[in-house]
Structure 1
């Protein structure tokens, strides 16, 4: 070999060695796929004359089932040098990654969205202790407290779901990305709340879904805003616990009773959307009919008996028994089931005059009571005298009119006579 050729060969080898030395960890290089193996790619690093390998897990930020579906011989890939794997330059000296190069780009995009206050959408890939793991191109973590605006006992339901997230914290150098779905939920509800309060008015009838049940009522979701149905507004008949008649998730129709935007409150009623108890009462309880009812309240002048949910009638003390009783409590108790006869019905005034004794046989030898002297009464007899002369007998307004079946004179007559007699005695 001539000295000239030897010098040229020496220079070529020096250039080759020099080019190898230019490959450093962290460099971005172009690699041509030379071979596709089951778990890795063998690539030639352009401009260097050396080879490297790309493991399957370093090919993409997304899961890959078949390596041949993402690369073939001759493909040219942008790669980053992550380490050396030995001194044997001929069999691949460098470990390369396409995934990490993509991740760098993803981190920059996420950082830009974070700076702009934008959100990201990503699928939940797994559930771990304390929260959710999502694939946002890079690994993101959602603490359990940031999943919803309420406690979620079982997070497994979110696996596989694609959700929107707010970026809470980002630190690419530590591969740290903290996300919140709760912030998205709260923002959505705030916007929905604003829209609902702007249009909803007392008297509106709307549909909702039972969101929560408490001892004092039910919270109904109206589409971003929860309104309260107090236990007294669930039904016309008495409800001990809302859970006795309602279930979470149940669709209900409600009437808006009151709206208070400043306190973020909406009062609702379910029973206001139901047929009124007194509708068609003259057909359900015509005069002369016999009904089964429950004693709801006892007063000094009689007993109120519920014959239909939300419909109570008065059994005056004079209509409880053929025998004299001092107070209704002598023979009746609240919650007792009784048979009653309808004496009169007034649908407009929501009044029912009832009788228990009308369904009982008169004891042998007992004289029939004289009819009331009040021309407006209906011959049901005067009430027995209330022995408690000092008690102020308060009659509900709906039973104070003459056409109730009992006049005010019938109810208070004996008490007034006692008072007059007492005055006469004092004068003597």
Structure 2
């Protein structure tokens, strides 16, 4: 037998020792090399199989060396056989995906809660991988409040429910917001059970609006209206509170059915009208600052939250046409209380009477 015949026979024997493989066939092999992005597998064929990260998993954030070790056995699907290049392209994820779609279909039909890893942020939402099946969760269904940037969730495991399933089109859509809403409603209900009118609660200012502030009370929001921020006049909520600030608030109203809570910073014991009959009795002399001016007089803040009217006719013994001619906001004024109406909470002042009394006293001395 010639050397050529011997070589041919050896090649034939060698080829005969290799298994035959076909496209779409499931084969088992042993891992002989692993890099972060590629796995080389001995599948008993004359060429080794190549399993890329893209075909290992739909989660592209992984490092293959963290998941596969040399010497391990692995089951894969033959995607392409190229004898000319000596390459066999393999896929692991497609085997898992076929089984995954079955499991996800059951979860969809039974409305079961699922969990998966956020693999990437795409236009309009995120992709979550479960059983190697990519599940799209729209941005509008990701959280209770709309989130502009979702990149912080990449690599995190989140829970969701399947709201759309089409295996033929390989389309699966999930919803995380609906689960968060259920949890939120449960938390709100529990919080409301422990809140009653008259309670004093420590809360955190969540957000500000032109008409007040929303305060987080252990999971439920209450409205602190601008009119309840102080016994005095507040024109801007930022004058009193800021976002993130802890505040001790009084529960004024609590509608547990409508989940509405009205709050106040006006505590009864701090009411400036307490003991007003003594502090602001007619004949008392008080000092305050001009809070605002009108055509008919000036309002003097004689105590925080208590404004008294100094009528234009009572500003001076001399004729005053316009209050602004002789007074400015912030000026300090000392006057005599000439009227106290507790029911209507009205106080009248007079500088004129003090001046007349002073003139009389001086004339008597003279």
TM-score (norm 2): 0.72
Of 251, 266, 278, the residue aligned with 2:261 is: 266
Q: 1:53 and 1:298, CA in 2 relative to 1: closer, same or farther beyond 3 A? A: closer
Q: Offset of 1:19 from its aligned partner? A: 6.4
Give the whole-Å Cα distance in 2 for the aligned partners of 1:100 and 1:284.
Answer: 84
Of 107, 124, 143, the residue aligned with 1:113 is: 107
Q: Offset of 1:122 from its aligned partner? A: 3.6
Q: 1:52 and 1:239, CA in 2 relative to 1: closer, same or farther beyond 3 A? A: same
Q: 1:60 and 1:328, CA in 2 relative to 1: closer, same or farther beyond 3 A? A: closer
Aligned to 1:419: none
Q: More displaced, 151-160 or 78-87?
A: 151-160
Aligned to 2:5: none
Give the whole-Å Cα distance in 2 for the aligned partners of 1:80 and 1:171.
Answer: 23
User: Are residues 1:234 and 2:242 paired?
Assistant: no
Q: Secondary structure at the match of 1:196?
A: helix
Q: 1:143 and 1:318, CA in 2 relative to 1: closer, same or farther beyond 3 A? A: same
For 1:10-21, list aligned pairs within 5 A: 20=20
Q: Offset of 1:188 from its aligned partner? A: 2.1
Q: Offset of 1:259 from its aligned partner? A: 2.4
Q: 1:304 and 1:145, CA in 2 relative to 1: closer, same or farther beyond 3 A? A: same
Q: Offset of 1:207 from its aligned partner? A: 2.9
For 1:69-88, list aligned pairs within 5 A: 70-73=68-71, 75-86=72-83
Report Cα offsets for 1:106-158 as digits up to 9, x if no partner.
Answer: 44443333333233334444433322333444433332222333333444444
Q: Secondary structure at the match of 2:230?
A: coil
Q: 1:244 and 1:291, CA in 2 relative to 1: closer, same or farther beyond 3 A? A: same
Of 250, 254, 267, the residue aligned with 2:249 is: 254
Q: Is the 8 A contact 2:34 2:68 kept in 1?
A: no
Q: Offset of 1:95 from its aligned partner? A: 1.9
Aligned to 1:102: 96
Q: Which has the higher contact order (CA 8 A, sep 6+)?
A: 2
Give the whole-Å Cα distance in 2 for the aligned partners of 1:242 and 1:274.
Answer: 22
Give the whole-Å Cα distance in 1 for the aligned partners of 2:67 and 2:258.
Answer: 58
Give the whole-Å Cα distance in 2 for the aligned partners of 1:265 and 1:204.
Answer: 15
Of 288, 292, 313, the residue aligned with 1:292 is: 288
Q: 1:334 and 1:40, CA in 2 relative to 1: closer, same or farther beyond 3 A? A: closer
Aligned to 1:420: none
Q: Is the 8 A contact 1:297 1:304 kept in 2?
A: yes
Q: Secondary structure at the match of 2:267?
A: helix
User: Are residues 1:309 and 2:307 paired?
Assistant: no
User: Are residues 1:206 and 2:204 paired?
Assistant: no
Aligned to 2:51: 54
Give the whole-Å Cα distance in 1 for the aligned partners of 2:244 and 2:106.
Answer: 40
Give the whole-Å Cα distance in 1 for the aligned partners of 2:105 and 2:190.
Answer: 32
Q: Which has the higher strand share?
A: 2
Q: Is the 8 A contact 2:135 2:173 kept in 1?
A: yes
Aligned to 1:130: 124
What value does the CA root-mean-square deviation take over the aligned residues?
A: 4.6
Give the whole-Å Cα distance in 2 for the aligned partners of 1:56 and 1:155.
Answer: 24
Give the whole-Å Cα distance in 1 for the aligned partners of 2:148 and 2:273.
Answer: 46
Q: Secondary structure at the match of 1:152?
A: coil
Q: Is the 8 A contact 1:345 1:353 kept in 2?
A: yes
Of 191, 194, 197, the residue aligned with 2:189 is: 194
Structure 2: runs of 5+ lacking an equivalent? 2-8
Q: 1:16 and 1:256, CA in 2 relative to 1: closer, same or farther beyond 3 A? A: same
Q: 1:85 and 1:174, CA in 2 relative to 1: closer, same or farther beyond 3 A? A: farther
Structure 1: runs of 5+ lacking an equivalent? 2-8, 370-428
Q: Secondary structure at the match of 2:251?
A: strand
Give the whole-Å Cα distance in 2 for the aligned partners of 1:140 and 1:26.
Answer: 24
Q: Offset of 1:191 from its aligned partner? A: 1.8
